[in-house]
Structure 1
């Protein structure tokens, strides 16, 4: 009988699931420290990114001036903005700004990066090119305002070289947006140079040496070897630069007066700022922000669609 009892107990114990292993104390401590370090970043993102996005999305369907009661208007804000000539002018200016600054900026950065890649000591040049990236926007605007004056150094130099009247960059509607493009290219050039130079240094030396042994010259080496291998870096830089161009605000705000003359430098973000904090029309301002979000997503999706044919990723062996 005792033997049968022991067999029954053994069967019951076999049917029972094994006890779950207890979590080690050091894992619990690591998890607590992880949340401790990640918590401030998550809190900041929730406060300054997620919450404003949700509020802006709600206000896009409402009418509110910051003081009176909020009134729901549905899609009226979007209908008004899509027929607003100022928004259309802002979109055109922003797209022109992006189409000028992105290819020219990346082209200049590529040429400079290739030249720096040939040098043994390039630290000083990198510091000089990267200095505008970390310089205050206010200081940059003040310097370029003096350069763009009708009697400034840039206008005087162009007047002497081409024997023309000194151009009034910030007072001429035909030149004001070009002035913003020049400052934008100058300000982002250093970052693009550093990124592209890092991509050039990651090109496998074995591929370069094989091409040289086959008799490839500098131009063929660059177009057939370096550019295809550099295309992922250029694609990344173009996406970031295009999104940054669509968000241009500080240069326009600091360099020109009221995005003038004649709204020649009015960008989408400045339009959003003017509606929200100039006229206190937070509903239309939020609707314009949503339109900018959709425009950014569409352009980025188009870039990713095109990159399938233009970008060459190195296949793993």
Structure 2
């Protein structure tokens, strides 16, 4: 699986009474499917996925697959604290039609020994029916060291890493330490190929009755041809997560994609940074990233409530966070409005 482009960390919509709001999740996924984003990530760390029940997660997985464009790579986070419960979600994600899973260190990662942390990741990679993306974030005490990331990179079911504290030096160090090359399936224009794109759909046809010969001939529906694909050699795929600020330097270093928190409320704005760089204009990409700096700062300072309010401002559904997280105050809302005013989709 090729992992590249802009990845949107989906929010978890709720009613005012805190019930899960699946219809609004479907609304968001349909709208994100119309954007140039490459992937949609469910239950990413910080998205309130850890507060969803098992039933809410199962329903959310099914709704996302039903509404997402088949070209969008779908990644499911595993917001659980035991290998058994995390793998149960991985099995549900595979059955629903997702393409990969995202694994962060458990919440008590700081109390785990290094060998225990590696056991956690390896056990999930061993048992997951889908390829695994690792997640590293110093803000939640779940930073993978360069040595740990490189060791896990050689697991045959590990695709790459989302890193919320990625720097140019850290990217170079992990890439050099991993030293792997694998062939992945891509389209003829080197875009990711999802499982849903490879699904063979039968062609509808009519039954033909042959009265003269006293029988019925059934026209067999031929399978629609699968899309044309090719292979591409890739290394350990490292995606910068967290902030869009500083993304241009990482893209220049060779990072293939970004998962900024801001992409949930301004996917087009985030994509324009990536697209300008891919078009060979890093100066324009840096200018576009600078225009996002104030809203990026607000989202970092105010958290998921600010991201959700930004969704409300941009035509997506954000809604209230689930308690114990609380909505923004009036002054915080005004701050987000001012910051997001120039980057609305």
TM-score, structure 1 as length reference: 0.23
* Greater percentage in helix: 1
Instruction: State the structure with bigger RCO (CA 8 A, min sep 6), 1 or 2.
Output: 1
Query: Larger Cα Rg: Structure 1 or Structure 2?
Result: 1
TM-score, structure 2 as length reference: 0.22
